[in-house]
Amino acid sequence: MRNIARFVVDTHSHISTLYQPKGAFSENIRKEGKWNGMIGEVAAYDNSALALYDMDRFGVDMAVLLPSMCGTYNEKQVEIMKKHPDRFRACCSDQLTMTKAMKGEIQGWNLQMSLDEIEAALKTENYVGIGEFVPGLNLYRYGYYPAPEFEKRVEEWDAFCELAIKYDVPVHFHEYIMFYRLPKTLWNHIKLLETVAGRHPKAKIVFNHGYKDPDLDVPDLIESMRDVYAMVSSYPNIYMETGGWCEKNFEVAFDSGVSARNLMWGHDYGNVPQYMFRKNILDRRIDGKIGLMTDPRVWEYRKVDAQFGSQYKGVPTIPTYQPNFYAWGMRTVDRVGDWLTQDEIDLIMGGTAARLYKLPVPFPRMFAEGRPDIFGENWQHDWYPFIPDEQITNPEGFRIPIERKYFDDSFSEG
């Protein structure tokens, strides 16, 4: 079988629910036919059978499971991981605290309650990261608690980053929303990302979806993409997900100095409430406004995009089938493979994730090293060996030594 890369990791997977509302919340969908989304609680479901079928079918070695909506509890991710420890890893968030706060079971929620839940989870060593959403975000954006000012949110991020550094795990950054009828951002999310990354150079931050869809309130979508990717490229501690990217995202990112060492492949795999749409398929949003799929500028550079069905007339919120994000995402990478090197594709498709999430990889020498064009000037100090020995299932007991000239400061003087 021919695969796209040596080791493939889906870094953004949701397979612990089919998004069916749970308990009293299911009344909304039964009586009114309305899905209650984040603000209810979805029933847990182990969707790993179809996930594993797809992973085997498309050559995906491992997937990182992210809790997200209410009801996709941390423990459910671990339960699935423990059934298939060679295929899955799990991230954690304040799932229980958030759900209780939304249901009114916790009065006077504060950030510390959420931080305590995350820290208790990290202490179990069952989790490899924090996310998909960090505390507060959903409580603020659905109006349960007032959203803090920018500076206060930066301070809240100080706490998230401190936890991430203490337990040496990445933290996911998803400070924007794609649902209709809600403000897209509560803060300038790009400025927030830059501020947080600058304040915490030791924190590894995963920018979810990697700005796959530029903010629509900018005059020029591509220029905005260029500005954001240029900013990201100047912070080595920001990682981006590329799973839903189109060719233009890859093109602009690499033109702007982004490196494959910071890119990972993953995009909302699972029975998520998203479909893959193409141009001119959707008339308009439910609220009649221009949305991503109805903004003609998007179709100047994109041919297909994944979007939430809830925003558009005539589309059921929850797909009754599971859209095939793996095949779609891999075909995009195939197309940019015309100009990206295979070394870079191997990093994007799995190497970067293997290093970031400390995943077991079968052999040494599987990923690029010694390429200053990918790893920068300090590659020999910061990036060699790319995968530490303890992560390698079949180590060789030695490393090919680096040529002396690279450690000799006088070399460049002749």
Measured from the CB atom, the residue of 118 and 361 that comes closer to Zn ion is 118
In angstroms, give the least distance from the CB of 322 to Zn ion: 15
Which residues make Cβ contacts (< 8 Å) with residue 310, sequence separation at least 6? 35, 37, 179, 180, 273, 286, 317
In angstroms, give the least distance from the CB of 132 to Zn ion: 5
Q: Which stretch binds Zn ion (CB under 5 A): 264-272, 287-295, 323-331, 403-411?
A: 264-272
Measured from the CB atom, the residue of 206 and 361 that comes closer to Zn ion is 206
- Work out whether 94 is an interface residue with Zn ion (CB under 5 A): no
Angstrom distances, CA of residue 304 to CA of 55, 65, 181, 222, 279: 22, 25, 23, 16, 7
Q: Which stretch binds Zn ion (CB under 5 A): 28-36, 195-203, 227-235, 267-275?
A: 267-275
Measured from the CB atom, the residue of 10 and 132 that comes closer to Zn ion is 132
Q: Which of 10, 268, 305, 346 binds Zn ion (CB under 5 A)?
A: 268
In angstroms, give the least distance from the CB of 245 to Zn ion: 15
Q: Which stretch binds Zn ion (CB under 5 A): 79-87, 136-144, 266-274, 374-382?
A: 266-274
Q: Binding-site residue total for Zn ion (CB under 5 A)?
A: 2
- Work out whether 41 is an interface residue with Zn ion (CB under 5 A): no
Q: Which stretch binds Zn ion (CB under 5 A): 80-88, 261-269, 362-370, 398-406?
A: 261-269
Q: Which stretch binds Zn ion (CB under 5 A): 17-25, 177-185, 263-271, 299-307?
A: 263-271
In angstroms, give the least distance from the CB of 299 to Zn ion: 24
Measured from the CB atom, the residue of 117 and 268 that comes closer to Zn ion is 268
Measured from the CB atom, the residue of 94 and 268 that comes closer to Zn ion is 268
**String of contacts with Zn ion for each residue 122-141, x by CB under 5 A:** ----------x---------
Measured from the CB atom, the residue of 21 and 270 that comes closer to Zn ion is 270
- Work out whether 305 is an interface residue with Zn ion (CB under 5 A): no
Query: What is the number of the residue whose Cβ is closest to Zn ion?
Result: 268
| Site of interaction with Zn ion (CB under 5 A) | 132, 268
